[in-house]
Amino acid sequence: MTLRTTLIDVEELAALAPDEVLIVDCRFDLMAPGTGQRDVGKGERDYREGHIPGAVYASLDADLSDLSRKAEGLGRHPLPREEAFSHVLSRWGWREGTQIVCYDAASGSLAAARLWWLLRLAGIPGVAVLDGGYPAWVGAGKPVESGDVHRTPRPVSLHFDASLYTVDHASLRADPERLLLDARAVPRYRGEVEPIDPVGGHVPGALNRPFSENLRDDGRFKRADVLHKEFEAVLGTHSPQDVVHMCGSGVTACHNLLAMEHAGLTGSRLYAPSWSGWVSDASRPVAKGSEPG
C-alpha cells in the first residue's frame, strides 16, 4: 500500500482494511472544550455518539497540546512534550508503517491538520487528513459506530525534529528572509475584533492568508494545481522554505501548511506559539489594519 501524506478522500479510506489504517477522530469545539475526565468536551461527546468505525479519539487540549506550558509564553495550545505524545501514539496502538488518517467535524479540518503536522514533526510521513472530514463520510452514506474504541497499546518512542519544522520567538524576529503567513480571518488579522486573545492585530510584516481560502464551497480542499497558483501569488519571490505559518494558537496555521504541501510547495514551517504567544510579551510590537506593518 502506498502511504498517503496529505489528503485522502472518503472512498480511498473506505477501501482500506482495518489492519492497514489507524483512524483518529479529532473533533473539538473551542467554545465547549470540557474541563476534565468527568466533563468531556463537545467533540468527545459527538465522537461517542457516532464516529468512523475503528476510530480512536484525540483531544486538542489533552492529546495534541500541553496546556500546562501556557505560562512559558508558548501560546494557548503549546506543543505536547515528546514523551507525552509518544504515550498518546502508544495508547492508540500505532505501529510503524501504518497509514494514519485523521478527521474532524469542521469543514476546515483544523484539529486534524494539527495532528497531521505533529506526526510530521515526529518523523511519521504516512498520515493524511480526510478531505471533507466527518460530514463527507456521513454524506457518502458510509457506516458509523458509537461508543469508545480501545486498541492494544504498543511501545512508542518519538523524537520531534523541531529545527526543521518550527520557529521560536527569537528566530522569528531574527530572520529577515522569512515570509510570515497569518491564517486567521481578516477581521482578527486587522485587529478589528479579537474574541479570544487579550490584544488584537498581527505581527508586523505578516501577510494574511485565511485558511478558509483553501477550501471549496463543499468544504473540501481546492485542487492541488489551484492551491499552487494561489499560494505562489502570495509568496512572490519567496521560496516555500522561506514561509512561516501562524494563526491564533498554532492550530489553524497547520491548515495552510497542509494546503501548501498538498500543492507541492514543500518545506514551510510553523510558528507554533502564534499570535497568543507573540502577545504574551507586551514588549513585542503589534500592527493593525490591512497592510503588513
User: Which amino acid does the sequence have at 259?
Assistant: A
Find the distance separating the first CA and the last CA of the chain, reported in whole Å. Answer: 48
The whole-angstrom distance between residue 232's C-alpha and the CA centroid of its chain comes to 21
User: Which amino acid does the sequence have at 125?
Assistant: P
Collapsing DSSP to helix, strand or coil, 285 comes out as coil
Contacts of 14 (CB under 8 A, 6+ apart): 140, 142
Residue pair 55/149 in contact (Cβ under 8 Å)? The answer is yes
Render the burial of 193-226: b for 16+ CB within 10 Å, e for the rest: ebeebeebbbbeebbbbbbeebbeeebbbbebee
- DSSP tag of 49: H
Quickly tell me which residue has 508503517 as its cell: 97
Contacts of 95 (CB under 8 A, 6+ apart): 154
Render the burial of 58-74: b for 16+ CB within 10 Å, e for the rest: bbbbbbbbbeebbeebb
- DSSP tag of 166: B
Contacts of 223 (CB under 8 A, 6+ apart): none
Annotation marks residue 26 as catalytic:
no
What residues are labeled active site?
A: 247
